[in-house]
């Protein structure tokens, strides 16, 4: 069953290994909380995308996990980057991503970020509003540059995911309404410092069923044909990311080939280059968060396992009520208990699991929180002045630190 999350995750003689490395040994050497990612898994996922979409550009969504060593790994498999901030552009360039493979979305790009991306000569801006078109045009003029753009179109499709991570519905802040798209394209065509080269859309995240993609791509392709007929040179069709992953035991990891199969017939007359922006489906199940059991508490009606990882390390359960599967690092054959797994933070929302059936564990045991390679460390914080976790990359029996554990001095270093 663990193999369905990640084929490199397995028990060997009762001890959990990831990509050939003992997680107990890593926890003892580097301490906890500890994020560990499998390089083999990440490579496999990029390859699966490239195989399913052989002529497409895969722009890894850096927001899922911005560690430059992870971006570098993905880049070495031929991927570019999808960014949403100047910081993500910096991380991508640090990792050696070719700027000609970088696309930049986001509703609130600042002038400084826009200038940075223009001077880096990225592939294209995915523009999200009329005002952004105007500002981009003005900045490009001042810099004496012509800027390639796509307009992010909001197709009003329900991705059937958590409302906080649905981005392609009418009421969401993202993109321009599909009904206004033709008008916005005409407007952009008249701005002399912009070159309209693409269409962008991204309907949401953790999408397990491919049918919303079919609906969105049909709408986008209709717009594409209209724009081509109207004389636009649309060279890129960027359909965003969002493919989901297995979090719960009863779910499965959808494959990029499932997506390809579903949308290829709709794309058959499209000459533009396809761009995809997967994040979670590349790194999500590469990673585990290792945490140590500090205390057990039995309140009679309720049992608690108190661990050293909190909502500052993994915020997904608190903000999306997200399920993350948890297994002991050393296999237990004893009885199961029903328990909450909670962190040390001063918030009732500080939990990793509620009412979970877990093998009975004791103080000092290690637990592995699965499916934490995406939006785990990337969303972590210093809340309660807690140093952020160490990150390790494991690769066929070898391991290395890709981010050191923080300490108190580091956290307070910018305070005066
Ligand atoms: C514009 C854009 N592209 C790509 C992604 C990546 O999404 P995911 O990690 O779900 O593949 C996101 C996040 O939802 C996004 O906002
Ligand atoms: N942070 C979200 C995904 C957001 C995707 C970005 N648009 C999650 O953990 O599921």
- 387 marked ligand binding residue: no
Asked if 209 and 242 touch (Cβ cutoff 8 Å), the reply is: no
- The confidence score (pLDDT) of residue 408 equals 98
Is residue 63 in contact with ligand 2, taking CB distance under 6 Å?
A: yes
CA 190 and chain centroid, separation: 35
Alpha-carbon distance values, 43 to 77, 201, 273 (Å):
7, 25, 23
Provide the phi-psi class of 368: left if phi over 0, else alpha when psi is between -120 and 50, else beta.
Answer: beta
Rounded to whole angstroms, the Cα distance separating 94 from 67 reads: 10
CA 92 and chain centroid, separation: 14
- The confidence score (pLDDT) of residue 88 equals 98
| Partners of 307 in the β-ladder | 293
| This prediction's pTM | 0.97
Rounded to whole angstroms, the Cα distance separating 87 from 85 reads: 5
Interior angle at CA 116, CA 114 and CA 120, nearest 5: 115
Rounded to whole angstroms, the Cα distance separating 14 from 404 reads: 28
pLDDT block averages, 10 residues each, the chain of length 416? 96 98 98 98 98 98 98 98 98 98 98 98 98 98 98 89 72 90 97 98 94 96 98 98 97 93 97 98 98 97 97 98 98 91 97 97 97 98 98 98 98 97
Asked if 173 and 163 touch (Cβ cutoff 8 Å), the reply is: no
What residues does CATH 2.40.37.10 cover in the chain? 2-37+285-412
- 77 marked ligand binding residue: no
Specify the CATH number for 2-37+285-412; select among 2.40.160.10, 3.40.718.10, 3.90.79.10, 2.40.37.10: 2.40.37.10
What interface predicted TM-score (ipTM) does this complex get? 0.98
Helical spans, DSSP H, in 323-416: 408-412
Alpha-carbon distance values, 272 to 112, 193, 221, 268 (Å):
30, 22, 10, 11
Name the residue among 99, 92, 95, 98 with its Cα closest to residue 119.
Answer: 99
- Burial track 69-96 (b if 16+ CB lie within 10 A, e otherwise): bbbebbbebebbbbbbbbebbebbbebe
Alpha-carbon distance values, 116 to 81, 112, 119, 208, 270 (Å):
15, 6, 5, 35, 32
Rounded to whole angstroms, the Cα distance separating 283 from 3 reads: 15
Q: 346 an active-site residue?
A: yes
**Residue 375 Cα: closest atom of ligand 2:** 9
CATH architecture of 105-278: Alpha-Beta Barrel (3.20)
Ligand nearest to the CA of 259: 1
What residues does CATH 3.20.20.10 cover in the chain? 105-278
Cα of 312 from ligand 1 centre, angstroms: 22
Asked if 1 and 378 touch (Cβ cutoff 8 Å), the reply is: no
Name the residue among 112, 117, 63 with its Cα closest to residue 90.
Answer: 117
Rounded to whole angstroms, the Cα distance separating 361 from 179 reads: 56
Site to probe by mutation for ligand 2, drawn from 243, 279, 375, 376 as the one with most ligand atoms within 8 Å of Cβ, is 375
Pocket of ligand 1 (CB under 6 A): 61, 64, 82, 105, 167, 202, 205, 240-243, 277-281, 374
- The confidence score (pLDDT) of residue 392 equals 98
Residue nearest to atom 9 of ligand 2 (CA): 375
CA 336 and chain centroid, separation: 33
Residue nearest to atom 4 of ligand 2 (CA): 165
Residue 185 CB neighbours (<10 A): 21
């Amino acid at each position: 069953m663990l193999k369905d999350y990640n084929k490199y995750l397995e028990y060997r003689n009762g001890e959990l290994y990831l990509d050939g490395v003992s997680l107990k040994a890593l926890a003892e050497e580097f301490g906890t909380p500890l994020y560990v990612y499998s390089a083999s898994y990440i490579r496999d996922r990029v390859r699966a995308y490239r195989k399913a979409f052989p002529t497409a550009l895969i722009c890894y969504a850096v927001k899922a996990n911005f560690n430059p060593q992870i971006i570098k790994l993905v880049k070495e498999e031929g991927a570019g980057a999808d960014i949403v901030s100047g910081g993500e552009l910096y991380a991508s360039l640090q990792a050696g991503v070719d700027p000609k493979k970088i696309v930049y979305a986001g509703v609130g790009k600042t002038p400084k970020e826009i200038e940075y991306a223009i001077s880096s000569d990225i592939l294209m801006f995915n523009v999200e509003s009329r005002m952004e078109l105007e500002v981009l045009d003005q900045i490009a003029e001042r810099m004496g540059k012509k800027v390639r753009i796509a307009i992010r179109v909001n197709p009003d499709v329900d991705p059937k995911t958590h409302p906080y991570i649905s981005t392609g519905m009418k009421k969401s802040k993202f993109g321009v309404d599909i009904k206004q798209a033709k008008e916005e394209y005409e407007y952009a065509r008249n701005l002399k410092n912009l070159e309209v080269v693409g269409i962008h859309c991204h309907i949401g995240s953790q999408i397990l069923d491919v049918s919303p993609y079919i609906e969105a791509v049909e709408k986008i392709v209709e717009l594409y044909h209209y724009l081509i007929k109207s004389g636009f040179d649309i060279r890129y069709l960027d359909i965003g990311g969002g493919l989901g992953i297995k979090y719960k035991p009863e779910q499965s990891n959808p494959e990029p080939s499932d997506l390809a199969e579903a949308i290829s017939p709709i794309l058959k007359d499209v000459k533009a280059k396809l761009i995809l922006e997967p994040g979670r489906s590349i790194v999500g199940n590469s990673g585990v968060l290792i945490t140590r059991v500090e205390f057990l508490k039995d309140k009679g009606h309720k049992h608690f396992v108190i661990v050293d990882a909190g909502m500052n390390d993994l915020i997904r359960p608190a903000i999306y009520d997200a399920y993350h599967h948890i297994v002991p690092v050393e296999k237990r054959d004893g009885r199961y208990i029903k328990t909450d797994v909670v962190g040390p933070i001063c918030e009732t929302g500080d939990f990793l699991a509620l009412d979970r059936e877990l093998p009975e564990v004791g103080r000092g045991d290690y637990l592995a929180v699965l499916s934490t390679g995406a939006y785990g460390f990337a969303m972590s914080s210093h809340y309660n002045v807690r140093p952020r976790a160490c990150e390790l990359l494991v690769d066929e029996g070898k391991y290395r630190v890709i981010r050191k554990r923080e300490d108190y001095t580091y956290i307070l270093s910018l305070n005066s």
